């Protein structure tokens, strides 16, 4: 059978369309475990008819013998082996031989967690695809992650605004179990509120930052072309003990982002085209307007040269004054 998507796989399980073998690939362990749990719920094996082990700890001979054995007083047997990328050559070959002729009354579920190594496991991929279903669970990227987080929040009755979802995803990243924990904290934080609207300030409160400590404040000041506020924040961050290299990193990402947007706007592209090509979400259209207020590409080039010089100075312990160097980058950027 051809490779399928995670959503289609879940839909098939809901329709009770169960395959004799599954290979779940990719780094997103959270969603792979979700599929495994759905399969177990659908098949409802008892303790005598379910086997579960990590590949490097399993007796693969025993596991495959069970997979080749009819279930006991049940309609199905479930064998789950996680982390099959850790299998050595001979056990992997035995697994492939089983996949060439899987027992229909067994559902074999495999997970493979190493995307790079999977490129050399083509025989395993082909065998699993012929025997059943292969689905990839790569880490969710920005737009998909935002949609996932928003849906999870809405499932709990929360109504997050766009900035809240964006900030939550930037703060937590693509680790979905951590994201689920943070959403639970937000749910509890708003439990006694009649209005379930969630704002960026709610997110900051829940993940342990006050308004003054907003980790994205410097980035926001730069992308909003607020030179005065950006310079004030550089002073504050350094005075509060932030490492100069860390502050430089906080400055570099939004500057590169705005340089890309500025280049696209100067090419005469429409706002929707700029959003698409720059990899922005639709509510980030304000950045396109901000980019139009920024100086041209020559100023960005000078700024990037200053960033490279400053980074080298910090890493070489040249004795350069951090405040002077970092504020010099901002003055170069905003000097029209």
pLDDT for the residue numbered 204: 83
Q: Where in the chain is the domain with CATH 1.20.272.10?
A: 216-334
pLDDT for the residue numbered 171: 81
Cα angle: 10, vertex 15, 18; to 5 degrees: 75
- Cα distances from 71 to residues 17, 46, 78, 270, 291, in angstroms, run 19, 10, 9, 61, 64
For the domain made up of 142-211, give the CATH fold: Helicase, Ruva Protein; domain 3 (1.10.8)
Given CATH 3.40.50.1820, say whether it is the number of domain 216-334. Answer: no
Round to whole Å and give the CA distance between 31 and 9.
11
For the domain made up of 6-136, give the CATH fold: Rossmann fold (3.40.50)
pLDDT in tens, the chain (336 residues): 457 888 899 899 999 999 999 999 988 888 999 999 999 999 999 989 999 999 988 889 999 999 999 998 888 999 999 999 999 889 999 999 999 999 999 999 999 988 888 888 889 999 999 999 999 998 898 888 999 999 999 999 999 998 889 888 888 888 898 899 899 989 998 988 999 999 988 888 887 654 445 667 888 889 888 889 899 889 888 888 888 888 898 899 889 989 999 899 888 888 888 888 887 766 677 788 888 888 888 888 999 999 999 988 887 766 678 899 999 999 999 875
* pTM score, whole prediction: 0.65
Q: Where in the chain is the domain with CATH 1.10.8.60?
A: 142-211
Q: Where in the chain is the domain with CATH 3.40.50.300?
A: 6-136
What's phi and psi for 8, nearest 5 deg? -65, -35
The alpha carbons of the chain give a radius of gyration, in whole angstroms, of: 26
For 219, half-sphere exposure in the C-beta direction (CA atoms, 13 angstrom radius) is 15
DSSP 59: -
For 23, half-sphere exposure in the C-beta direction (CA atoms, 13 angstrom radius) is 26
Q: How many CB atoms lie within 10 A of CB 335?
A: 11
- Cα distances from 157 to residues 121, 148, 187, 190, 327, in angstroms, run 43, 15, 8, 10, 44
């Amino acid at each position: 059978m051809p490779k399928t998507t995670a959503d289609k796989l879940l839909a098939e399980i809901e329709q009770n369309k169960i395959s004799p073998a599954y290979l779940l690939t990719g780094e997103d362990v959270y969603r792979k475990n979700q599929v495994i749990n759905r399969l177990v719920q659908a098949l409802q094996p008892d303790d005598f008819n379910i086997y579960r082990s990590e590949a490097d700890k399993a007796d693969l001979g025993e596991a495959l013998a069970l997979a080749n054995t009819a279930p006991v007083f049940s309609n199905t047997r479930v064998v789950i082996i996680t982390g099959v990328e850790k299998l050595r050559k001979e056990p992997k070959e035995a697994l492939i031989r089983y996949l060439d002729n899987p027992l229909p009354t067994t559902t074999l579920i495999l997970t493979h967690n190493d995307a790079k190594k999977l490129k050399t496991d083509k025989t395993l991929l082909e065998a699993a695809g012929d025997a059943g279903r292969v689905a990839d669970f790569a880490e969710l990227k920005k737009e998909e992650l935002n949609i996932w987080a928003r849906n999870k929040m809405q499932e709990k009755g929360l109504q997050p605004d766009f900035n809240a979802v964006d900030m939550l995803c930037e703060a937590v990243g693509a680790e979905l179990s951590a994201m689920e924990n943070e959403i639970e904290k937000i749910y509890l934080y708003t439990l006694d509120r009649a209005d379930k609207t969630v704002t960026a300030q709610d997110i900051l409160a829940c993940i342990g930052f006050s308004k003054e400590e907003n980790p994205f404040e410097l980035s926001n000041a730069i992308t909003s072309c607020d030179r005065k506020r950006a310079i004030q924040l550089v002073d504050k961050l350094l005075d509060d003990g932030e490492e100069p290299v860390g502050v430089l990193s906080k400055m570099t990402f939004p500057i590169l982002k705005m340089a890309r947007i500025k280049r696209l706007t100067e090419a005469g592209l429409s706002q929707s085209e700029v959003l698409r090509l720059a990899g922005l979400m639709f509510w980030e259209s304000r950045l396109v307007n901000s980019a139009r207020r920024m100086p041209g590409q020559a100023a960005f080039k000078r700024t990037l040269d200053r960033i490279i010089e400053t980074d080298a100075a910090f890493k070489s312990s040249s004795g350069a004054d951090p405040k002077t160097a970092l504020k010099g980058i901002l003055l170069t950027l905003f000097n029209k």
